Structure 1
Amino acid sequence: MNFADQLVEAVRRKRNPVVVGIDPRPEELPGGFLDRFPGDRAGVAAALKAFGCDVLDVVAPLVPAVKFQSAFYEAYGPEGLAALHATVEHAKSRGAIVLFDGKRNDIGSTAEAYARAYLGKVPIGGAFEPPWHADAITVNPYLGTDGITPFVRVAAREQKGVFVLVRTSNASAREFQDLVADGKPLYRHVAEKLLTWGAGHAGESGYNLVGAVVGATYPQELAELREAMPGILFLVPGYGVQGGTAKDIAPAFDEHGLGAIVNNSRGITFAYERPHLAAQFPGNWQGAVEQAVRDMIQDLAANTSAGRLRD
């Protein structure tokens, strides 16, 4: 099944477009959590794995997808990557669609190697095996078509997805993305090229396996890009802690509540740090995480067409 169709089906099944971002930071783990593990790098990596799996046990029944930010695992070296791999496997065992947020990019055989690593298979003896079981990856378009087509080619072959950075949610995004060339800001050029990269890769849902990362923190541009890119799935970061609201995100959805998935990382995985949830769930950090997910689902349902997924 085309990746876009898989994602749309999962959103319909869970009746919401929420993506939980798993970005574990040792210093923000629940009180006493880190003390259960040895005080070396392997111990910290084991704690990250345990925490991520505990989060997944709460959120996987509620949301269609989860997103792993690889940097927080890579920081702990080989042990950290092993923890990431094990947590991804746990996510797949719980039925979640897995997005790998690595923002990879290169050209030629190197881009092909990245694509095979995260979306495809590599030769092992006389067979081919997938190193990772990610369903989609984020990619940086800065190097142009040479850096994107290997990912799209492998994704199409393996029924996976690619999310291209178009309009990111960070404060300094304007430094480059708003530069005007040939009468249009750079992010509009990327959006137009993305439509070319996705040509021929739409699924039965009408959405494409090549998606766009478009931040909630720039609502005017989000609405503009939604109109310019029909049939393109949006991965929307920036909701919650970064300042994006459900009303800001509303234009990203079609009339059926489809077309976008909305990421929330710190606001969910570290929900137990929020005073009202800490008071509501004393000594029960997973309860706080679950409530944060339910609150986000309700917020999107009340303020966007994603509420129609409940009909």
Structure 2
Amino acid sequence: MMAIPSIIAICAIAAVVGWAWARKSSITFAIVIANLIVFVITLFTPEQILTDLSFSPAYLSAQYWPRCYTLLTSMFVHGGFSHIIMNMLVLVLIGYSFEQRVGREKFLLIYLVTGIVGALCHSALSLGSTTFLVGASGAIFGILGAYAASYPRDRVMMPMGIIFMRVPVLLGALVMALIETIYVAAGAGQGVSHFAHLGGFIGGVLFLPLLKERGGATLKTEGVGGKGVDFDLLQSLTHTPGQLELIERIKGEDLPEISKAWLMYLLNSLRCPKCKGNLAHDEKSLKCKCGFEKRYRS
């Protein structure tokens, strides 16, 4: 029979995520809060939580199949302060940005499915093992893989070695995946399931096309921000690296509201090439009091 603290932990997970879903709040922050609640409960009853909510490859056998629910619950269990702090920090840094891109529904689906995929990859190489697997790392690597595959040019804060840097998500993902691959090849990292990390990452990359087929225009790989815009003209009017970066962002942006906001910001920053004065603009043209006028949108 499941211990009362474990039941409370499961109810807390369902309540927090369910509340965020009903209120249309951020799923990323709901997952973080649920993890922290479970961790606090674990501090008081570690043996009960680890026994009831942790996943083990042995649970995939016919004898223990009723305990397969731990494929989900184990994502909310962590083994120590450093474990949960690092996982939740990375989740906030990349998860919220990705959730804003794809929406709450797709984000939660990717998170849960890739977390399970990571656990199954670990199990495939540890069949029959009774060692417990806990942590959100597989799901977080899944989010990272999906993010890198869909929006590689987005810049996010990520751990690069011992420091955090703002880098293109594709670069961060490749570095993290390379590190995990080296760990696996070297047989290093005792006590850490690097196969679960790689499994989640690959699952995120491979799971993305299924989401696109199911319909979201949100996950289009061709941006909508640059439709009809004469980027050659705009580029000829730029005079700072920041303006050039804005053009690249507009080209790759898939959310119309964001691309429009960036385009307006860029247009407001441009100067007339003749008199260096401010340029006025409407929906299609750029104009200056000196007589300069160019059409930037067809």
Is the TM-score greater than 0.5? no
Structure with the greater relative contact order (CA < 8 A, sep ≥ 6): 1 or 2?
Answer: 1
TM norm structure 1: 0.24
More helix by share: 2
Larger radius of gyration: 2
More strand by share: 1
TM norm structure 2: 0.25
